[in-house]
């Protein structure tokens, strides 16, 4: 597959790059791993944003069109610079000497090549070169930096009291990088709601949030690499935005990237699941209560090779380094793409929600829906919000979203139409009543009645009254009948004497009192 050009990235991915770089302060390579793109591409977007002194708060308020105008192709295309390459073999040998640091070697390199690599790039290139010599690179984690998450391979059976059948529960594990402080819980499956819920409860257990979440490439959280879909599930990314952290998945088939959680899973299996092997559980809550009790013991268990325990190290170095929890707990939501139907509504699970008619049918909308609300976005701006209604086939419509002609139509009621007809004459009122009465729903006769009443503008009230009188006589209860009478001048001809009355009488026919209530 050909390499994607930088300006072909989706706006969602561009916004995520800028959020991670300008708000979460992640390195270009961390952002590249999170967004599954080249770190060079990341650097171009971050550099351009800094050149224009753009803050993330400003970018967040921009719509997609404005943002695309800033990050257009010619702004991102830059000529490549070629830097003199250090002698990495020499650097590597010098690093073995006592008290020699990479910073000192970089200063010596800059003294010879003033236009060479800067310190960060120099160190990064050396570490990449060294990894080819020694794949088993030891990783040290900063306090509050990373939380590793995964599911254990081992499951726990829960017995149904009624049927005796056994259902296997999945075991979620979260481990903090610096202290190894561990959280674990059971869930019925690895679905997205359970995956997100376990993260939320992990943050609450740790009473804070790490700057980075490191998951495996689980399907619930990481989407399949695709041109049309983001690599990180939109709901998972939305949760990360809520807590102000970044998601950087492990590389495929690179177990050392998640060695911390692999070790944590093994510890949970040995010290918690093994201890519960002979117990029978009849509910998920019962199992989680047992896990909670053993989790306290695990975190307070002393280390063998160093002083302290997971909990003591957490209290000592990691608790204060965590980001604070937001004021509100994350509310699980889902995302989908949708297009406006011909009636300016979009379909969400079989129910139809209105969007502003003026936006046009050719636009694509993004829908964020929780168990209570529906939010509809266009070009990163919220254009509509509704209370969620799962009634299939029904419509939720906001009046302001409708065309002006439709809004005016909604303002009409049966009593208003009848009163207007009364001002033109007794026969006109009787014909309008008849049309409204014989329909299953009065609203179905609005268009016909309004059309008849508006004929007065063309022919006068007197002629319309005469035409309605003839229409009642010939039982022509429609706009077309009245319009034809007027067009051919039949309203000017004499009619036999008769008393106008309601065309139909029946116990199920509505009377005047019905319309007075509307």
Domain boundaries, the chain: 6-76, 88-128, 146-321, 334-405, 412-516
Predicted confidence (pLDDT) at residue 106 exceeds the cutoff of 70: yes
The predicted structure's pLDDT at residue 517: 46
Q: How confident is the model at residue 503 (pLDDT cuts 50, 70, 90)?
A: very low
Q: What is the pLDDT of residues 267-299, one digit of tens each?
A: 888 888 988 888 999 999 999 999 999 999 999
Structure tokens at 111: 């003294």
The better pLDDT of the pair 149, 398 is held by 149
Q: Which of 262, 271, 291 is nearest to 153 (CA)?
A: 262
Instruction: Provide the pLDDT confidence category of residue 226 given band limits of 50, 70 and 90.
Output: very low
Q: Does the pLDDT value for residue 5 go beyond 50?
A: no
Q: Please tell me whether residue 59 adopts helix, strand or coil conformation.
A: helix
State residue 206's pLDDT score: 94
The average pLDDT across 303-323 equals: 86
Sign of CA dihedral 328, 331, 335, 339: negative
* Secondary structure of 438-481 in HEC code, one letter for each residue: CCCCHHHHHHHHHHHHCCHHHHCHHHHHHHHHHHHHHCCCCHHH
Q: pLDDT over 90 for what percent of the chain? A: 19
- Count of CB atoms situated within 10 Å of the CB of 361: 11
Q: What is the pLDDT of residue 361?
A: 66
- Of residues 140 and 295, more confidence is placed in 295
pTM for the model = 0.57
CB hemisphere CA count around 468 (13 angstroms): 33
Q: Which residue has the tokens 């390459």?
A: 85
Predicted local distance difference test score (pLDDT) of residue 257: 54
Q: What is the pLDDT of residue 331?
A: 85
Q: With cut-offs at 50, 70 and 90, classify the pLDDT of residue 135.
A: very low
Per-residue exposure over 89-118, b if at least 16 CB sit within 10 Å of its own CB, e if not: eebeeeeeeeeeebeebbeebeeeeeebbe
Q: Detail the DSSP E strand segments found in 320-362.
A: 334-339, 345-348, 351-354
Instruction: Name the least confident of 9-23, 92-106, 374-388, 491-505.
Output: 491-505
Three-state SS for 98?
coil
The fold for domain 146-321 equals Nucleotidyltransferase; domain 5 (3.30.420)
- Predicted confidence (pLDDT) per residue in 453-464, tens digit: 989 988 998 999
Query: Given a cut of 60, is residue 305 above it in pLDDT?
Result: yes
In the chain, what is the straight-line distance between the N-terminal and C-terminal CA atoms, in Å? Answer: 64
Task: Among 35-44, 142-151, 215-224, name the one with the lowest average pLDDT.
Answer: 215-224
Q: In this structure, are residues 76 and 7 in contact, taking their beta carbons and an 8 Å threshold? A: yes
Residues 30-59: b if buried by 16+ CB within 10 A, e if exposed: bbbbbbebebebbbbbbebbeeeebebeeb
> By 3-state DSSP, what share of the chain in percent is helix, strand and coil, each rounded to 5?
45, 15, 40
> What's the pLDDT tens digit per position in 152-183?
889 999 999 888 899 999 999 999 988 889 99
Sign of CA dihedral 19, 20, 22, 24: positive
Give the single-character DSSP code of 399.
G
Confidence grade of residue 409 (pLDDT, cut at 50, 70, 90)? low
Residue 295: its pLDDT value, please? 94
Share of the chain above pLDDT 70, in %: 79
- pLDDT of amino acid 221: 55
Predicted local confidence at residue 158, as pLDDT: 93
Interior angle at CA 62, CA 57 and CA 67, nearest 5: 110
Q: Are 362 and 344 in contact (CB under 8 A)?
A: no
Q: What is the mean pLDDT of residues 127-137?
A: 61
Q: Give the pLDDT band (50/70/90) at residue 300.
A: very high
Using alpha carbons, select from 236, 208, 178 the residue that is nearest to residue 34: 236
Per-residue pLDDT band for 225 (boundaries 50, 70, 90) equals very low
**Which phi and psi angles does 183 have, rounded to 5°?**
-130, 145
Highest mean pLDDT among 64-78, 98-112, 235-249, 361-375: 235-249
Name the phi and psi angles at 323, rounded to 5: -70, 145
Mean pLDDT of 479-488: 91
Residue 342 scores a pLDDT above 90: no
Sign of the torsion angle spanned by Cα atoms 104, 110, 111, 113: positive
- Which of 188-202, 401-415, 497-511 is least confident? 497-511
The three-state DSSP-derived secondary structure of 111-158 is: HHCCCCCCHHHHHHHHHHHHHCCCCCCCCCCCCCCEEEEEECCCCEEE
Q: How confident is the model at residue 401 (pLDDT cuts 50, 70, 90)?
A: confident
Which residues, 6+ apart, have CB-to-CB distance to 271 below 8 Å? 294, 297, 298, 301
**Above 70 in pLDDT, residue 15?**
yes
The confidence score (pLDDT) of residue 77 equals: 55
Give all strands (DSSP E) within 325-446, no chain letters.
334-339, 345-348, 351-354, 364-369, 373-378, 381-387, 395-396
Asked if the model's pLDDT at residue 392 lies above 50, the reply is: yes
DSSP per-residue codes, 230-285: -SB-HHHHHHHHHHT-EE-PPPTT-GGGGHHHHHHHHHHIIIIITTTTT--BSSHH
Residue 97's pLDDT is 60
Phi first, then psi: what are they for 167, rounded to 5°? -115, 130
- Give the confidence band of 340 by pLDDT, cuts at 50, 70, 90: confident
Residue-wise pLDDT tens digits, 253-269: 555 555 666 788 888 88
Residue 34 has a pLDDT of 87
Average pLDDT over the chain, rounded to whole?
Answer: 80
Summarize the confidence of residues 453-480 as an average pLDDT.
Answer: 90
């Amino acid at each position: 597959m050909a390499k994607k050009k930088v300006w072909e990235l989706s706006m969602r991915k561009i916004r995520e790059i800028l959020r991670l770089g300008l708000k979460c302060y992640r390195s270009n390579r961390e952002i590249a791993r999170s967004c599954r793109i080249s770190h060079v591409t990341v650097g171009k977007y971050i550099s351009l944003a800094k050149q224009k002194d753009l803050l993330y708060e400003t970018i967040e308020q921009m719509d997609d069109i404005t943002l695309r105008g800033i990050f257009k192709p010619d702004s991102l295309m830059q000529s490549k610079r070629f830097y003199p390459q250090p002698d990495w073999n020499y650097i590597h040998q010098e690093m073995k000497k006592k008290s020699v640091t990479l910073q000192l070697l970089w200063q010596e390199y800059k003294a010879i090549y003033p236009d060479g690599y800067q310190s960060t790039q120099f160190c990064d290139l050396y570490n990449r070169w060294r990894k080819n010599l020694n794949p088993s690179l030891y990783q040290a984690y900063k306090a509050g930096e990373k939380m590793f998450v995964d599911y254990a391979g081992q499951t726990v059976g829960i017995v149904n009291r009624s049927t005796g059948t056994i259902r296997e529960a999945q075991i979620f594990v979260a481990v903090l990088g610096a202290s190894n402080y561990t959280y674990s819980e059971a869930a019925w499956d690895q679905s997205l709601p359970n995956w997100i819920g376990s993260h939320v409860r992990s943050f609450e257990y740790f009473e804070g949030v790490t700057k980075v979440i490191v998951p495996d490439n689980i399907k619930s959280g990481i989407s399949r690499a695709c041109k049309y879909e983001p690599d990180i599930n939109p709901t998972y990314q939305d949760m990360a935005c809520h807590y102000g952290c970044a998601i950087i998945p492990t590389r495929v088939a690179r177990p050392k990237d998640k060695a911390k959680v692999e070790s944590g899973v093994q510890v949970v299996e040995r010290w918690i699941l093994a201890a519960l092997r002979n117990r029978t559980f009849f509910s998920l809550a019962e199992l989680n209560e047992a896990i909670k009790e053993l989790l306290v013991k695990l975190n307070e268990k002393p280390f063998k090779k160093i002083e302290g325990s997971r909990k003591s190290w957490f209290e000592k170095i990691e608790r204060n380094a965590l980001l604070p929890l937001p004021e509100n707990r994350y509310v699980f939501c889902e995302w989908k793409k949708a297009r406006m139907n011909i009636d300016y509504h979009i379909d969400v699970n079989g129910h139809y929600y209105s969007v502003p008619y003026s936006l046009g049918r050719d636009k694509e909308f993004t829908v964020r829906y929780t168990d209570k609300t529906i939010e509809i976005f266009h070009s990163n701006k919220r254009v509509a919000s509704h209370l969620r209604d799962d009634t299939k086939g029904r419509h939720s419509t906001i009046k302001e979203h409708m065309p002006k002609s439709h809004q005016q139509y909604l303002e009409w009621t049966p009593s208003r139409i009848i009163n207007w007809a009364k001002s033109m004459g007794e026969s006109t009122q009787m014909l309008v009543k008849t049309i409204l009465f014989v329909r299953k729903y009065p609203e179905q006769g609005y268009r016909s009645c309004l059309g008849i009443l508006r004929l007065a503008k063309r022919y006068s009230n007197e002629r319309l009254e005469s035409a309605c009188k003839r229409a009642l006589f010939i039982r022509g209860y429609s706009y077309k009948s009245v319009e034809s009478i007027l067009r051919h001048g039949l309203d000017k001809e004499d009619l036999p004497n008769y008393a106008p009355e309601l065309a139909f009488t029946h116990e199920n026919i509505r009377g005047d009192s019905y319309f007075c209530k509307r």
